Structure 1
Amino acid sequence: MKISTKQEYFSAMAEIEGLYQKGFSKLNQKEEKRLGVLSEAIEAWETVHYPMPSKPDFPAIITYLLESNKLTQAALAEELNISKGFLSQLRHGYKAPNTEVLTAIHYKFHIDGNLLLESLPYSNR
């Protein structure tokens, strides 16, 4: 499967979300295979259209989330269950994220946990 348009990308994302909502343990073999195909196609699309900066710092990840998901700062703050002010401080590097923020980004936006940890200013890169 190859995603060629934004419409196909959003359709694939919606289909994946439906499979996630069903729960991994409840997927049949056909659905598991479809999930794998969709995941690979979405990853290929995002690599081209929404590339993650290599070795990003945490503020770059926040910017990436805003741009790639077409979110306002207020909407992203709501998704992460934090205040707009705290998000602004994270985005500008004035504050470091807490465990709850890192966990929310990992689960809600499927950002690799290791990448998140490595993006912190005090990590050993």
Structure 2
Amino acid sequence: MATTAFDTEALRMGIEGRKASTLLSLYADDAEMRMVDHRSQPSHPMVAHGRTEIDAVLSDVYSRDMTHKLESVIVGDGHIAWMESCEYPDGTKVLCNAMGNIKDGKITDLTGIQAWDEA
């Protein structure tokens, strides 16, 4: 049975190049994304279903005036995990850890947990 490898270089280029369209190409059509933070807590995470909703989330995040860096990524046995660090021009830092499942080289579901500096 042939499988398609996940494109970690596209992940890096999408994150660090702030290219929502590149990142969206890594998701399956029926993927689900969940994000947890101090506003969207574990009992009520932000959930985006399908590529249209995921595109809206990614377009919002990667259109912001901030830097993004893929710190590390691990892919194996149908799973993916990565750590991303970000910084706004005023020095506010954001850290996101994401973990999910992949099938045929595409993310099928992903949960991210993020935290950021607060005054």
- Tell me the TM-score normalised to structure 1 length: 0.29
Specify which structure has the higher proportion of helix: 1
Q: Which structure is higher in strand share?
A: 2
Higher CA-based Rg: 1
* More relative contact order, 1 or 2 (CA 8 Å, 6+ apart): 2
